[in-house]
């Protein structure tokens, strides 16, 4: 239903005795929904998942210091102001995350919208996305794969700013000696993810 059709039906009283269509559906039909998001519970706490027509653009740990309003404001500024709570477009990502945490899924089949990362940071995250389930890599190895063998510190910064954790598995990057290194969601979450994947003994 287009906005014009909705306006006409409201004006003519057609919708008086009918339920209004969901705003998200109207916006999507009219091409006005650029970023759809939903929040969901997970073993790691509340997550905000946002998608665009290109793919998954943001996954935020709301219990790790990121505020929902701040995440949405950042998406509005950097992607599009047309951001709307709309669970439908997020359902596939939600199902795949649920399967992952239940150990029924070892890889994500979700298109990624990379527009929040650029240059070396994007190369780092693309290299990180290729680390297989149950495997790990080092900051030095990821930096080399991203084209800068000496850029392990910059690689660490890019991983710490990863806008799509879990799906782009920055938790699989460790220090060369096996130390955990850092993690934007906190080391406790990094440990849980590695244990889910069998990379560490529980």
Q: So which residues are the catalytic ones?
A: 170
Angle of helix 119-129 versus helix 152-160 axis, rounded to 10: 80
- Tell me the two tokens of residue 81: 């102001």
Q: How far is Cα 184 from Cα 56, in angstroms, rounded to an integer? A: 18
Q: How far is Cα 124 from Cα 89, in angstroms, rounded to an integer? A: 27
With contact defined as beta carbons under 8 Å apart, do 24 and 51 qualify? no
Q: How far is Cα 82 from Cα 28, in angstroms, rounded to an integer? A: 10
Phi-psi region for residue 42, left (φ > 0), alpha (ψ -120 to 50) or beta?
A: beta
């Amino acid at each position: 239903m287009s906005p014009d059709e909705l306006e006409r039906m409201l004006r003519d009283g057609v919708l008086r005795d009918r339920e209004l269509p969901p705003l998200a559906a109207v916006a999507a039909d009219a091409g006005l929904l650029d970023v759809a998001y939903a929040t969901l519970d997970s073993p790691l706490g509340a997550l905000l998942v946002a998608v665009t027509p290109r793919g998954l653009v943001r996954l935020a740990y709301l219990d790790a210091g990121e505020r929902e309003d701040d995440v949405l404001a950042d998406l509005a500024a950097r992607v599009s102001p047309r951001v709307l709570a709309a669970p439908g477009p997020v359902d596939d990502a939600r199902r795949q995350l649920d399967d992952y945490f239940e150990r029924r899924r070892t890889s994500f089949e979700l298109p990624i919208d990379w527009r929040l990362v650029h240059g070396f940071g994007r190369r780092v995250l693309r290299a990180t996305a290729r680390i297989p389930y149950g495997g790990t890599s080092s900051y030095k190895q990821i930096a080399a794969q991203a084209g800068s063998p000496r850029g392990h510190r910059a690689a660490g910064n890019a991983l710490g700013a990863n806008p799509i954790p879990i799906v782009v598995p920055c938790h699989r990057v460790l220090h060369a000696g096996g130390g955990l290194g850092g993690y934007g969601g906190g080391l406790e979450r990094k440990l849980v993810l590695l244990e889910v994947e069998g990379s560490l003994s529980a």
